[in-house]
Structure 1
């Protein structure tokens, strides 16, 4: 009986340690949905701002008229 209890306690402590390590790794590296959405929103705002401020992502529509648009 003592042998069974010692074996169970040994493996139980190892399992607990493994669960704690896995939980710590998960907490360190996961991103919540709110963090992901905020990141996407920030990227979108940056891209839109660059578009309208004439940054590297700005488009030049100066030669665009109805005739060019219809032909395209």
Structure 2
């Protein structure tokens, strides 16, 4: 399942928190903002909640920001933990 986030419409590949599968089943009337119900992992059947997607997106953005800072300060004597 892919979700568009932020105003730039970036695409995020969502994976099941339990098995790592990226194939999701969802109803035809699915909408991320208004109708995030009945979304399930296509492999293990775990229900996927909106909070799962938000958590994955947050972790992805944090990693991108960390990478950006590392590249910006590379060779300058600064280190990020």
TM-score, length-normalised on structure 2? 0.33
Scaled by the length of structure 1, the TM-score of the pair is 0.37
Q: Which has the higher strand share?
A: 2
More helix per residue? 1
